[in-house]
Every structure is written in C-alpha cells, then in structure tokens.
Amino acid sequence: MPEFAFIGRSNVGKSSLINMLCDNSKLAMTSSTPGKTRLINHFAINKEWYLVDLPGYGFAKMSKAGKDQLTAVIKDYIFNSEEMVLLFVLIDSRHDIGKIDLDFLIDLGENGIPFSIIYTKSDKQGPNVTNAQIERNCALLKEYWEELPPYFVSSAQKGTGKESILNHINTILESLKS
C-alpha cells in the first residue's frame, strides 16, 4: 500500500496531528513516551494506505552518536522507501523556519523527495498572524525553490486541516489508481 509519512522536530505536534487524522487519541505515542524516538510506526488506514510516523528530529539534548543514529534511521526510510508517496514535514505555525528545518527541506529538495509542509498549532494565534508567518516562510523557501508544493494549516486542538490533508491524500491515491 502507498505510504504517507509524517516528520517534524520534537514537540512540533506530530503525535497530536496523527491522532487527529486517525480519530484516535491514543494511536501515536506522544513526546513523553519513553523510547518513542527511534521507532518508525506504520498505521494502516482504510486498508488503502499507511500513515508512517517517523521519529522526531532536532533534539537539542541528544548526544552526537544518538543524533547520528536517528538521522540514519530517518534517512534510510525517506531515501530508500519504495512505498513512500509523500512526506509531510511539520513546522510550528508560530515560528520562522529555522536552520535545522531548512537544512532538512533542502536535503529533500536535492534528493527529489516529494514533500508538503503542515503548519501546526494554528490555534495558538489568530489567522492573520498565522498567514503573515506562512508568507514569511514561503518567501524564505522561494529563495531555494522556484515552485513550492501545497502547504496545509492545522490545529489538533480545533480539528483544523484534517479534511484538507485527508482530501489531498485521497486525491493522490486516486491518481495512483488511474
């Protein structure tokens, strides 16, 4: 089955988003779960596709060896998976895209990995502030990309973005069938 993977810096709201998309509050393990960081979890959705929960990256407190091991696990999946159709990269809607995220995105671009950005936690501020922040982020990315992939705005607390993300996945699934 085709795979749609989700990744982001630790604490970006990935587990909450996955649980929202799957209507299951306990599916993805939250940040506080011991040992969650090195796991890649596959969740079968509607017997049609797999939602792949990749480990968070950018842990400030992790040792170099730990970071290297994590990076190897992540890169092995992203660059070698034959099933991954799209990678959703989660970015906090309140912040500028930092160096860690930018380097990661550039790496994806250079390796031709299809991705879409999901801006998380949009309930934390008003829509105008979110839109202004996203515009700043798009301006930064436009320095590296001529054309940007579609992005999504989400809030796990309010359910925002669920429909548009799932619609996007379904559109891709349909296009794979034809």
Q: Which residues of the chain form contacts with ligand GDP (CB under 6 A)?
A: 8, 10-16, 30-31, 56, 120-121, 123-124, 155-157
Quick one: tokens of 149? 């992939």
Report the nearest approach of ligand GDP to the CB of residue 129 (Å).
14
Nearer to ligand GDP, 111 or 127 (CB): 127
Q: Which residue lies nearer to ligand GDP by CB, 126 or 171? A: 126
Q: Which residue in this structure is represented by tokens 């320095």?
A: 143
Residue 90 identity (one-letter amino acid): L
CA distances from 59 to 71, 73, 127, 178 (A): 11, 15, 29, 41
Residue 150, classed as helix, strand or coil, is: coil
- Measuring CA to CA, how many Å separate 126 from each of 53, 87, 98, 115? 29, 27, 22, 26
Residue 125 identity: Q
Distance between CA 77 and CA 12 in Å, rounded? 20
Determine contact, residues 168/150, Cβ cutoff 8 Å.
yes
Q: Rounded to the nearest whole angstrom, what is the least distance from the CB of residue 8 to ligand GDP in the complex?
A: 6
CB of 130 or CB of 155, closer to ligand GDP: 155
Q: Which is nearer to ligand GDP, 120 or 133 (CB)?
A: 120
Residue 41 or 81: the one with the smaller Cβ distance to ligand GDP is: 41
Q: Encoding tokens for residue 167? A: 């619609």
